[in-house]
Amino acid sequence: MSELAGDIQDIIAIAKISSESDLPELQSQMDALDQRWRAQEAQLYLGGEFDSFNCYMTISGGAGGTEAQDWAAMLVRMYLRYCERKGWKADLLEKTDGQEAGIKTATFHIVGEMAYGNLKCEKGTHRLVRISPFGAKGLRQTSFALVEVLPEIAETKEIEINPNELRIDTFRSGGAGGQNVNKVESAIRITHVPSGIVVACQTERSQLQNRAQAMSILRAKLLEKKRKEELSQKKDLKGSTQSADFGQQIRSYVLHPYQMVKDLRSNVETGNTAGVLDGDIQMFIDAELKREAA
């Protein structure tokens, strides 16, 4: 930001000694600075308690059966491509495949600068309208998928977990992986009995690693629950409880009969659906950060 301020001062100094013939060049430089400012402005709103933290993202297919599970898999690709654009690391922790296509649910651990601060804007239900690739009649289909985002929280006195209140199950990991996959019960599922919260991790090489990741997710979920109970009349960490169904969506992706992605909170929209599905979603995140700060 200081570099941008310095460039602005340089242009002001040059403008004072320039002639009328230099105006087109000065205007071009000002336009470039304006674009740089717009790209950085939204990041000024990232000052929340957990905004600088790494995060966990869970994507689940909602109403729509196989269609919704395929849509959830499309969102997984979109967010992985977004993480690549940002230079973040995204590791798969747990995935349940759909019966015919796509996924039922997938959870990722995302490591990067201001990862939670940016991705918290994506939590909610995402709606897809397209011609069904699974039906022979070529009918238009509406599908839903739910995105949940939680900050990665280290052990804290604010959340104390009683080991006696946990039910821990082990099972064999599925899918591609190291030599232990499908041979050793390294996958972990932890149930917090009082709250009914269930978390799982299956992709690390050892049971200890999977347990550590699962406990980290459990801490985040319990803190979220605690904050929601304490701040029921205020805006809380995760937002209101949402289901992946009609009337709950934050963004609509229409691939037929026209091409349009529209965020229903900020009203930002674009016809570049291919770009959005390839991870070009920063415009929506920036707009939501500004809207929340207004």
Least confident of 13-27, 97-111, 121-135: 13-27
Cα-flanking dihedrals φ and ψ of residue 43, to 5°? Answer: -65, -15
pLDDT over 70 at 231, yes or no: no
CATH number, residue 212: 3.30.160.20
Range of the domain at 105: 55-155+239-293
Asked if the structure places residue 108 within a domain, the reply is yes
The per-residue pLDDT for range 67-80, each reduced to its tens digit, is 999 999 999 999 99
Calculate ∠ Cα 271-251-83, nearest 5°.
80
* Residue that has been written with the tokens 């699962």 in this structure: 214
CA distance 25 to 22: 6
Does one domain contain both 219 and 133? no
pLDDT at position 177 is: 43
* Interval 253-258 mean pLDDT: 95
Dig out the tokens for 91 from the structure: 């590791």
CA distance 282 to 39: 9
Does one domain contain both 110 and 202? no
Number of structural domains in the chain: 3
Task: Check residues 67 and 229 and name the one with the higher pLDDT.
Answer: 67
pLDDT over 80 at 92, yes or no: yes
Does one domain contain both 148 and 170? no
* Interval 34-57 mean pLDDT: 82
Does one domain contain both 145 and 261? yes
